[in-house]
Amino acid sequence: MNSSKKERIQLSDHFTFGRLLTFTFPSMVMMVFTSIYSIVDGFFVSNFAGKTPFAAINLIMPVFMILGTFGFMIGTGGTAVVAITLGQGRKKDANRYFSMLVYTVAVFGFLSAVLGQFILPSTARLLGAEGQMLDYCVLYGRILLCSLPFFMLQNVFQAFFVTAEKPRLGLLSTVLAGCMNIVLDALLVGVFRFGLTGAAVATAMAEITGGLFPIIYFSRKNDSLLKLGKTSFMPAILGRACINGMAEFMNNVAMSVVTILYNLQLIRLAGEDGVAAYGVIMYVSFIFVAVFIGYSMGSAPLVGYNYGAGNTDELKNLFRKSLLILASGGILMVIISEAMAAPFSYIYTGYDDGLYAMTLRAFRIFSLGYVLSGINIYTPAFLAALGKGPQSALLSFLRALILQGLFVLVLPEFFGLDGVWSASVCTEIAAALLAALFLIRNNKEIHYIR
């Protein structure tokens, strides 16, 4: 028992590269397994149901990403509030804040699920769905709305498991849900051939599992830093969490809105095949981006705690090591993407030669942006952990919506389909310059750069 306590990594520790990667690894894997929901659905639907249901999933999925983003916002922003409070030695207040934020997400998720059932058909039409694709969008969406509250809770707990010094337990919860999704997809879609309905049910069951497990754990007596209990509604704390997490909210909403713009452009330029090709790229991108997001979420409580405790030396240490890790990771991901572009594309589109050729070319162009995306994702999360919510949100908004939206609308007018695929690369270059400006500006006050 004593040895397990010695091995446990705490927020107050000094972090080497190995210790930092060990601490953030569960968060990275958690985010990867969260991304598996849509990836697995897409694989089975594309190969066993056809490209029209596959395109329908890609068309309607941004709506659920926008709705689920509320959980990410409260999780990321609430982690900053709770971690700083823990760093100040106010554990009782930290648990009251934690409980209130979780209960708020649960209520919001339920109300969103009810309202979504009424507006889903008109929303699908606005996204460009019609005919059979519209029917598929509504069918898939109605089933996923049933598990929406649990999906939001899973998102919020991903961050709080780290703050509670239980990242491995959070990993276990997410892996369990992800494996359930894979198994159910294989059975319902691959074996029993229930098509899109089977894929939606598999995802819904996995999301319910991923959201329910943390509630049970934190509601009972445990040895973590956090526990759900009695609390009251605190608008000021909710507001701070929303402001600090606004970057995550804006980033996810913007990504979903931009995905809609991509789909509209692709329907215009390449029809159903363009949407399907973009879907394949997004599935692989989900995994790579999830690693960066997971690292940012996993390291944010460390930044918030040391900032709250006034430990400037450790703050500098975390910042420097994080930039080196993310820069190296970005280079590695570009190499992997270019080397694996053909097999990745073939897995999803090997049944159609024309679609495969389009997807392969798109993949090779799009993946060049990964070299900078890690640092661009980390910078807003770092600022949010320092309590710089408005700046964090602005930076995310500029990167994810303004810059990318501008490039995806303008570049295709000059370069056709290649303009669509290269929009993300141009966005990451411009965003990296903005991130550098924000970091230099805030260093004058907090001094995290040596």
pLDDT value at 5 more than 60 = no
pLDDT (0 to 100) of residue 247: 66
| Cβ neighbours for 116, distance < 8 A, ≥ 6 positions apart | 67, 141, 145, 148
| Cβ neighbours for 31, distance < 8 A, ≥ 6 positions apart | 158, 290, 291, 293, 294, 297
pLDDT value at 446 more than 70 = yes
pLDDT (0 to 100) of residue 120: 95
Containing H/E element for 386?
none
How far is residue 224's CA from residue 236's CA, in Å, rounded to a whole number? 25
Are 421 and 266 spatial neighbours (Cβ–Cβ below 8 Å)?
no
Lowest mean pLDDT across 26-35, 44-53, 162-171, 255-264: 26-35
- Determine the average pLDDT of the residues in 314-340: 92
pLDDT, tens digit, 9 for 90 and up, residues 55-78 = 888 888 888 888 888 888 898 889
Residue 175: pLDDT band (50, 70, 90) is confident
Lowest mean pLDDT across 303-307, 404-408, 423-427: 303-307
Higher pLDDT, 252 or 135: 135
Higher pLDDT, 135 or 253: 135
- Determine the average pLDDT of the residues in 356-383: 92
Are 48 and 348 spatial neighbours (Cβ–Cβ below 8 Å)?
no
pLDDT (0 to 100) of residue 443: 82
SS3 447: coil
pLDDT value at 4 more than 60 = no
- Determine the average pLDDT of the residues in 216-222: 94
* Per-residue DSSP letter, 11: T
**Closest Cα to residue 275, out of 426, 109, 136, 96?**
136
Containing H/E element for 48?
helix 17-48
pLDDT (0 to 100) of residue 372: 94
Containing H/E element for 399?
none
SS3 165: coil
- Determine the average pLDDT of the residues in 223-235: 94
pLDDT above 90 coverage of the chain, percent = 46
pLDDT (0 to 100) of residue 41: 72
pLDDT value at 48 more than 90 = no
Whole-prediction pTM: 0.72
Higher pLDDT, 450 or 195: 195
378: burial class by Cβ within 10 Å (0-12, 13-18, 19+)? Answer: buried
pLDDT (0 to 100) of residue 42: 76
* Per-residue DSSP letter, 325: H
- Determine the average pLDDT of the residues in 42-60: 83
